[in-house]
Amino acid sequence: MTDTQPTHTSGSPSLENLLHETRSFPPSAEFAAQANAQPALYDDAKADRLEFWAEQARDLVSWHTPFTETLDWSGAPVARWFADGRLNAAYNAVDRHVEAGLGDRVALHFEGEPGDTRTVTYADLQREVSRAANALAALGVTAGDRVVIYLPMLVESVVAMLACARIGAPHSVVFGGFSADALRSRIADAQASLVITADGGYRRGAASALKPAVDEALAPREGEPETTVRHVLVVQRTDQEVAWTEGRDLWWHEALESADTFHEPVWVEAEHPLFILYTSGTTGKPKGILHTTGGYLTQAAYTHKNVFDLKPETDVYWCTADIGWVTGHSYVVYGPLLNGATQVIYEGTPDTPHRGRWWELVQKYNVSILYTAPTAIRTCMKWGEDIPARFDLSSLRVLGSVGEPINPEAWMWYRRVIGGDEAPIVDTWWQTETGAIMISPLPGVTATKPGSAQVPLPGIVAEVVDDEAHAVPNGGGGYLVLSEPWPSMLRGIWGDLERYRDTYWARFEGLYFAGDGAKKDEDGDIWLLGRVDDVMNVSGHRLSTTEIESALVSHDIVAEAAVVGASDETTGQAVVAFVILRGEHAHRASDAESAAQVQEELRAHVAKEIGPIAKPRKILVVAELPKTRSGKIMRRLLRDVAENRAVGDATTLADSSVMELIAAGLAAPS
Ligand code: 6R9
């Protein structure tokens, strides 16, 4: 493929900092000629949007009963797509490829952190998923029952999700890095009847335990209702000692051993729930985002095919996301498998046993499409480009980014060092709620710009609006909204329809409010600017300030807490907490040493309550917090402090001396 030189776009965006970026990389003629996506895709979608989606649904998904109706929006904001069709997600991801004679194609190249490997073909996957489905059924799990999956990145994790889908039991995957308490509240909210976990997994060169967190999450607690969980299936990964509850706990391998390899998929309605995935909102309570089957699968497959230009016969695809996040759902499990892709899944961290592990894997498996997050790219930048330079990365032909805005430096580094100055980068904007990619360049069609997700995909209608819901002109900024329903949109918040309306549909009449700030450049391309609510984005993971504040305040010594996301070179944002100690404990922060102790104690407490990723990078003990007269904490001012800036306008503070007090306190030993 020929190299493409950057050209400069017309017009100079008058927007601050990153919008001074004017480089643009048109696709090479060769890439464009072979691309799955052609410019006509936009025209087709514009000509008849609903018919366009119906075509995608018919082309990319196999229906047991074909649908006749495309969209029913009469119950807005709860959409029904392809509602009279019936299908099965696992059949679409696995069986139909085997039936098409592709059973020998590798579905998964699994690489364990210690270096153990496993190659799983589509035929293998069909046997495993069928067995697992029979095992779940034998445990009494039926269509509609919820199953919580709490696993590391293993072949069994993919099998478990598909087995649930095969019997019509919605799965709720809880990220393995979350604590027992986080797991407990999600199990309770979903009223799950089964948990699938492992003894442990390998992380940073050691076996780390998972099962104890499940035991703790299920233990009876005074004043709380008894758990709905009847069984725990345990995958044996590390051979660690595990506590065992007779009658409740079963080994995964034993349950599967005795199960039949044939299983007839349960054909469900298109609107049957496929999964619930919990994500942080602006209040402390995580939201169970509900996705259903037909529309979700359609958009997952469509985006995976066109945004990554997947050629299933020749490509090797690798998405580095964990199945605990939505990216792992749509772009490790459903999108790639529906499209019959061959992919790599990796259990461990990028720096174990060395900092070149990812690039070694790209070389080993000839990965051609890589999908990862800006925080990972920035970490690799920090480690130095001599590390990837030691490996042959010439197989890479498409690079993807997701999770947070990618800054132009990281984008350029990704393109040059990883993509050999050739591979197109697709910066994909979407959310747990949107289910699949919404805004992204199309490789081979779009001239890409470093730092911008650019354009809504064909079939998607997005806008940037001001406070009054008016579309802003090119060059202007405001809030990102989605103006038309899309197939993979959430169908609500589990058990809380009111919260669904309030969170997404109350801000602007008839428009989906994404919670992200955005600007349009002079070409009308969209630049995402981060969250406008109190949700932080740390290494591409959504964390709520409120949730961390409540975790801090639940510690005996803390009276009050305020949490902000301070910009951080590597992780995008870092959690910084300001705490006021209870009077009787105030002395504990009087010298540097004890303040450091307090900080460590509270960090550990947050890790226990929520999980290690929520641990504040810094905890500052203060005497007061800046509040408005109505009692709202002015996080903006705290962010100034956290980012070492001069403190901004503090005139709306109830007590204007507070910021001086905080600044003085920080100058003193901490
Ligand atoms: C897929 C995923 C969603 C939030 C979203 C936004 C941020 C994701 C982005 C991006 C700028 C991108 N986000 N992709 N911001 N450019 N390409 O990440 O889902 O975990 O629900 O987070 O992430 O702020 O609102 P989720």
> By 3-state DSSP, what share of the chain in percent is helix, strand and coil, each rounded to 5?
35, 25, 45
Q: What are phi and psi of 10, to 5 degrees?
A: -70, 160
Q: What is the pLDDT of residue 533?
A: 82
Q: What is the pLDDT of residue 283?
A: 62
**pLDDT attached to residue 636:** 82
Greatest alpha-carbon pair distance for the chain in Å reads 74
To test the pocket of ligand 1, the residue of 175, 291, 528, 536 to mutate (highest count of ligand atoms within 8 Å of its CB) is: 528
Contacts of 302 (CB under 8 A, 6+ apart): 56, 60, 436, 459
SS (H, E, C) 385-422: CHHHHCCCCCCCCEEEECCCCCCHHHHHHHHHHHCCCC
Q: Which residue's CA is the nearest one to ligand 1's atom 4?
A: 431
- Expressed in angstroms and rounded, the spacing between residue 321 Cα and the centre of ligand 1 is 13
515 lines ligand 1 (CB under 6 A): yes
Of the residues 327, 425, 516, 532, which should be mutated to test ligand 1's pocket, given the most ligand atoms within 8 Å of the CB?
Answer: 516
Chain centroid to CA 609: how far?
21
| Whole-Å CA distances, 42 to 153, 235, 306, 360, 461 | 36, 45, 12, 38, 11
pLDDT value of residue 22: 83
Ligand 1 contact, 361 CB (< 6 A): no
The closest of 37, 94, 102 to 305, measured between CA atoms, is 37
pLDDT of residue 461: 98
Q: Which residues of the chain have pLDDT under 50?
A: 1-17, 668-670
Using the atom order of ligand 1, give the atom closest to the CA of residue 514. Answer: 25
The interface predicted TM-score (ipTM) is 1.00
Q: State if residue 410 touches ligand 1 by the CB under 6 angstroms criterion.
A: no
Nearest to 418 by CA among 457, 381, 451: 381
pLDDT recorded at residue 607: 94
171/149 Cα distance (integer angstroms): 7
- Whole-number pLDDT of residue 449: 97
Report which of 584, 579, 539 is spatially closest to residue 563, judged by C-alpha positions.
579
Sheet holding 316-319, edge to edge: 117-121, 106-111, 342-346, 316-319, 369-372, 398-401, 425-427
